[in-house]
Structure 1
Amino acid sequence: MTQTTAGRDLDPVTFEVLRRGFDYACERMSQVLQKASFSPIIYDMVDFSNALFDADVELIGQTANCPIHIAAMHYSARASLEEYPKETLSPGDVVVLNDPYLGGTHTPDVTLTTPLFHGETLMGFAVSRAHWTDVGQSLDTHVAGEGLRLPPGKLMTRGEINPELVSIIKNNTRTPQYIDGDIQAQLAALWACRDEIERLTNRYGLDVMREGMREVLDYTQERTRKAIEAIPDGRYEGADYMDSDGYSEEPVNVRVALEIKGDRIHVDMTGSDPQVMGPINSPLANTASAIYYSLKFFLDQNAPANAGLYRQVDFTIPEGTWLNPVWPAPTIGCTTAAASKITAAIWAAFAKAIPDRSIASTYAEGNWFNASVTDPATRETFIFADLPAGGWGGTPFNDGMNVTMDPLGNCQNLPAETAEMLFPLRYNAFEMITDSPGAGKFRGGAGVRLVVEFVGHGQISTMESSRTRAGSPGTNGGGEGRRQKQLRRKADGTVESVGGLSDSGEWLPQMLGGVQFKPGESFVFESGGGGGWGSPLERDPDSVAADVRNDLVTVQSASEVYGVVLDEHLAVDQPATDARRKELATAVRG
């Protein structure tokens, strides 16, 4: 919907204080949630997001936690308000929701919404979304098999919690010990936002606060308009794919066209594959969120992150595709499988529109896996999860980041110390993989090898992994990153593939469901490297030598890929390097 940017009434100082105050309220939410939560996936892995919305449910402020959450949260809030209209809400009311087909994304992401009042006037809404350790989810062909789905429901009424609803939630999880603590932590986050907004309102007054909310949206809209105008008009196409949905061996494709016209962008997902049997389907809220944050990277990065950006973006996402499925398609892999592919496709399209600012593909996965392990002494079963990150793509200015979470989130891996303290596991390795970065003038970032040993019987489900057929593509002549691998290391040390492409060339569906591990066996996940940017023959030879010394590149690859010959001290042999690069360049031209 096109809106006209109105004039500015606030002086610059007041505007900036309010803008920063809105973001600070969300930062306080995240600080409280992380410190008070009970689940490792929240307090250590930072898989949560918090945001402030105005009375019209427009995003005003947020914390930089999981981008895939943020632009989807207004769908959840609006679905909650359809069930509980604004005029029926009171201070202390909290609505809970996680249904993927009612504004949610996947079932573990649970969203709490509360109204913010100043006196009797509704100021806006505080919204907190956190990934709960377990809501009974599993890989299934029906969304009902993915765990407890909550339509909008009153978790709290006028400050009084609903014990019956909490009991239902605890009865549908394998980790009830976390539920009370995580609920209280999310509620505390909501109250932190309420208190900060009340302080601002007491200081500046209701009218100034409302004006500040309007102006931050208009400000971002104006900056976004100018950023889009700087991109040449045209239609630019990009594509990517999931290796499979876990049930078929066929790739699942996402196709996107960016249509730039003046100060607007239309994102057209027509041509993407139909919804699939496996659990990678992306509900509308998730796909829209992925579109918005993917565009943000190439628009005005310094503009406040709020709904002002949404005003300049239109999209077409055909219903019945895997990017806008209809009930009951399973969706548990949407946040870190589908979202990654949407981003990769949009970035590929931008590489054609603005090649001087293009970025090679990241490893493009969340690589979220869930696992259970039984303590051999007590027979107690534990649930844990991890997110082994990979390499980002090279840019026109620098190398890609090593072992960094995909653009969909700022989550972190599960620390080995936490894992071994809480669960019957041993984290035996977490190491960067040599020769995993895609080669280039600016190489990609490195992937990581994670080795998790089961002390008791265990099983693994990997819900968002791909790049096992081929690695992350480079751009502008850059090389491909190393593909991802999922392996089993047996107690005798032998290694076999459990998903993806084996060394013998056999490919198995990479979406694993309930793969069993015996005591003493290890799950080995090797994440991918980022794609390279530009020709490897243009890379500074001293940088190649430094990569070899840091075990990111082998001596053999330095010579065969980069054309850099090193002496016995791993320093550049410049005459030999000049000859080698000339030889390689001639071979390429030939």
Structure 2
Amino acid sequence: MPGQVAYQIMWNRLISIVEEQAQALVRTAFSTSVREAGDLSAGVYDAAGQMLAQAVTGTPGHVNAMADAVPHFIRDIGLDTMRPGDVYLTNDPWKGTGHLHDITVCTPAFHKDRLIGFFACTAHVTDIGGRGFGADADAVYEEGLHLPIMRFASAGTVDPTLIQIIRANVRAPDQLVGDLYALATCNDIGRGRLTEMLDEYGLDDLDGISDFILDHSRRATLDRIAALPQGQAAAHMRIDGYTRPVDLHVSVTFAGDRVLCDWTGTSGPDPKGINVPMVYTKAYACFALKCAIAPDIPNNAASLAPFEVTAPPGTIVNALHPAPVALRHVIGHLLPDTIFGALDQLMPGVVPAEGAGCLCNFQMSLRPRTGTGGAGDAEVLVFNSGGAGARPSLDGLSATAFPSGVMTMPVEATEQVGPVIIWRKELRPDSGGAGQYRGGLGQVMEVGPRAGYDMHLSAMFDRVEHPARGRRGGAAGGATTVALSDGTPLRGKGRQHIPEGTRAVMGFPGGGGYGDVGARDVDAVRRDLALGYITPEMARRDYGLSDHDVQAVLAATALGGEGANS
């Protein structure tokens, strides 16, 4: 039997294997949301379906939800029916990662004719049929094609009937089917690497390494929890919602060998598609707790187990079928900031101020006008980020997705996949909340269709009416703004027409500041002004910079050529 050192090496090797698995998906996926934004996850599991390692590349909403998905595959498919060459899939929001636009693919791993574990991966697809990606549906049935847990391939043969059904129900069949093959292939790469490792160490299965990983992770996490001050704290956040504002209420309890996170008191479900299945609530709640309490312990079934998340059924964070859930991320990404409000009372000086939270996504549906010779319909999904909240000793990160970690998509990649023009994409001055440490900046984007196309914009924004709050005396970040280029306001959520000759102009929210603004270093204020992060008006009004200082900075900036987007 291998010793402790060998098992530690194999643990690191498994993490490397699933990272290679994820990178293979990035390189082979058809959807820009995967290739450019990294909206994916990859993991390896033991024969009981317990997650042993996850890829560094990926999102908490995918991988932490996927940690619960593999046991569903085991139950629904049946261990006794699994064979080498099988591949399974689902996009069930309640058994996968929370909405129909994420497809999870699970592959059993066999070694020496014995089932020893599983590889799984998830990717966001641009289109799954239905109304398209947006919040406007009244039930999950309208949101797209539902693929229950089923076989994508049996003993190496892909199901042709399944492929026909998928092709007949989505707007971009080649893209979606290509993504399915990419998902299956990246799992196979992981399986091959695992076989090589087992052969190298002369092992027949994963039992020993599984016990080592889970035992060490469990004990390390419990040690961190035991060192916490026992107690309970509650927090509340109000956000925009869709048909009405949503109140998020959370209670966090440090209870010896467990951390309890309960969402009792949170608003009921919304009639439109911003509801959150419990699996997604659990994913982001666990992520927030783990970031604060045990950030350096690798994610796996055992390191997640002591974090217990509950929510009353039928609340917006424990939505029941058939609630519409397409934009579950809009609320799900705001759960960590709500939890941080409670943790700040229990662990002062650890958590950041509130940030933009949810991704600043929008989808553009484009149709050629009659007689213009347009190439055809197109769906273009764009991932963007607002500013992160300031940290206890550092400014917030600008245009950075937290907690999702999804990357902002390059302009060039977006314009290449559809007839759209992004006229402007730049940091948004003054959007970072003032404080001893400044909140991260949001962005300004201006987009429109190319000549000959009509465009509808599906907005997926929050923080319009309720911007990110500062912490410990810091000021709020800038609110989201959405309008046409002629000044006509648009809604923060929902499908809206962009008339010919106009563009959509969006200001994404900034993060809240941290600490008393009067304590901010004057040189940091001058630097922010020189870089264009703040305007002269904000420098004077919020930071108290004198007119003489403002003029001196502006003069030096003009001489040095230092601009807002340096």
> Could you state the TM-score of these two structures normalised by the residue count of structure 1?
0.89
Amino acid at match of 2:241: S
Identical aligned residues as a percent: 27
Q: 1:330 aligns with which of 314, 324, 329?
A: 324
Using the TM superposition, give the Cα deviation of residue 234 of structure 1 relative to its aligned residue in structure 2, in angstroms: 0.8
Amino acid at match of 1:363: A
| CA distance in 2 between partners of 1:318 and 1:426 (Å) | 44
**Correspondence list, 1:201-280, <5 A:** 201-206=198-203, 209-245=206-242, 248=243, 250-280=244-274
- 2:127 matched to which residue of 1? 134
- 2:435 matched to which residue of 1? 440
Using the TM superposition, give the Cα deviation of residue 344 of structure 1 relative to its aligned residue in structure 2, in angstroms: 1.4
- 2:426 matched to which residue of 1? 431
Amino acid at match of 1:81: I
Using the TM superposition, give the Cα deviation of residue 379 of structure 1 relative to its aligned residue in structure 2, in angstroms: 5.2
After superposition, give the CA deviation of every residue in 1:257-301 in whole Å (9 maximum; x if it has no partner). Answer: 001122310111111111221111111211111111111210221
- 1:163 matched to which residue of 2? 160
CA gap of 1:40–1:103, structure 2 versus 1, over 3 A, is closer
- 1:577 matched to which residue of 2? none
Secondary structure of the residue aligned to 2:94 is coil
Using the TM superposition, give the Cα deviation of residue 12 of structure 1 relative to its aligned residue in structure 2, in angstroms: 4.1
- 1:73 matched to which residue of 2? 66
Paired residues, what number? 544
| CA distance in 2 between partners of 1:538 and 1:43 (Å) | 42
| CA distance in 2 between partners of 1:27 and 1:101 (Å) | 26
Using the TM superposition, give the Cα deviation of residue 305 of structure 1 relative to its aligned residue in structure 2, in angstroms: 1.4
The answer to whether the Cα contact below 8 Å between 1:216 and 1:304 also exists between their aligned partners in 2 is no
Q: 1:22 aligns with which of 14, 37, 43?
A: 14
CA gap of 1:303–1:439, structure 2 versus 1, over 3 A, is same
RMSD, matched Cα: 1.8
The answer to whether the Cα contact below 8 Å between 1:388 and 1:450 also exists between their aligned partners in 2 is no
**Correspondence list, 1:112-511, <5 A:** 112-138=105-131, 139-206=136-203, 209-245=206-242, 248=243, 250-334=244-328, 336-375=329-368, 376-378=372-374, 380-408=376-404, 410-455=405-450, 456-463=453-460, 465-489=461-485, 494-499=486-491, 510-511=492-493
After superposition, give the CA deviation of every residue in 1:54-75 in whole Å (9 maximum; x if it has no partner). Answer: 1111111111311110111133
Point out where structure 1 has 5 or more consecutive residues left out of the alignment. Answer: 1-8, 500-509, 573-590
The answer to whether the Cα contact below 8 Å between 1:454 and 1:518 also exists between their aligned partners in 2 is no
Using the TM superposition, give the Cα deviation of residue 207 of structure 1 relative to its aligned residue in structure 2, in angstroms: 5.8
After superposition, give the CA deviation of every residue in 1:178-226 in whole Å (9 maximum; x if it has no partner). Answer: 1232122111101011011101111123367421222112222222112
| CA distance in 1 between partners of 2:185 and 2:120 (Å) | 12
Using the TM superposition, give the Cα deviation of residue 34 of structure 1 relative to its aligned residue in structure 2, in angstroms: 1.1
Amino acid at match of 1:111: T
| CA distance in 2 between partners of 1:207 and 1:89 (Å) | 18
| CA distance in 2 between partners of 1:111 and 1:482 (Å) | 36
> Could you state the TM-score of these two structures normalised by the residue count of structure 2?
0.93
Secondary structure of the residue aligned to 1:238 is strand
| CA distance in 1 between partners of 2:388 and 2:442 (Å) | 9
The answer to whether the Cα contact below 8 Å between 2:261 and 2:309 also exists between their aligned partners in 1 is yes
The question of 1:60 aligning with 2:52 is answered yes
| CA distance in 1 between partners of 2:137 and 2:402 (Å) | 25
The answer to whether the Cα contact below 8 Å between 1:388 and 1:525 also exists between their aligned partners in 2 is no
| CA distance in 2 between partners of 1:38 and 1:85 (Å) | 31
Amino acid at match of 1:454: P
The answer to whether the Cα contact below 8 Å between 1:76 and 1:97 also exists between their aligned partners in 2 is no
Using the TM superposition, give the Cα deviation of residue 78 of structure 1 relative to its aligned residue in structure 2, in angstroms: 2.1
After superposition, give the CA deviation of every residue in 1:213-255 in whole Å (9 maximum; x if it has no partner). Answer: 221122222221122223211111112233022xx2x211211
Secondary structure of the residue aligned to 2:334 is helix
Using the TM superposition, give the Cα deviation of residue 177 of structure 1 relative to its aligned residue in structure 2, in angstroms: 2.3
The answer to whether the Cα contact below 8 Å between 2:241 and 2:274 also exists between their aligned partners in 1 is no
| CA distance in 1 between partners of 2:436 and 2:516 (Å) | 5
The answer to whether the Cα contact below 8 Å between 2:530 and 2:554 also exists between their aligned partners in 1 is no
- 2:494 matched to which residue of 1? 512
The answer to whether the Cα contact below 8 Å between 1:424 and 1:454 also exists between their aligned partners in 2 is yes
Using the TM superposition, give the Cα deviation of residue 345 of structure 1 relative to its aligned residue in structure 2, in angstroms: 0.8
Secondary structure of the residue aligned to 1:457 is strand
- 1:34 matched to which residue of 2? 26
